[in-house]
Chains A and B, each alone.
Chain A
Amino acid sequence: MSLRDFFVAHKSDVLKLASEHLWLVGVSMLLAVAIGVPLGILLSRRPGWKGLVLGANNIMQTIPSLALFGLLLPVPWLGARADRLAILALTLYALLPVVRNTYTGIAGVDPPVREAALGMGLTSRQLLWYVELPLASNVIVAGIRTATVITVGVATIAAAIGAGGLGEFIFRGLAMVDNNVILAGAIPAALMALSADLVLGLIQRTLVRVHH
Chain B
Amino acid sequence: MSQPSRFTIFWRTVRGRAYPRIIGLQREKSWFFFDVFLPLLQVAAYVYIYRVIEAPTEFVGFVVLGGAMTAYWMNIMWNMASQFYWEKETGNLELYIIAPTSRMAILLGMAIGGIVATTVRASVVILVGLLIFRVPMTVTNVPVFAGVFVTTMVALYGLGMLLSSLFLLFGREAWHMSELLREPIFLVSGFYFPVRALGFAIAAAASIVPITLGLDAMRQLMFPEMLSHLRFLSPHVELALLTGSAVLFVTLAQRSLAFMEAYARREGRLTVRGQ
A and B form one complex: no
Question: What is B's interface to A at a CB cutoff of 8 Å?
Answer: none
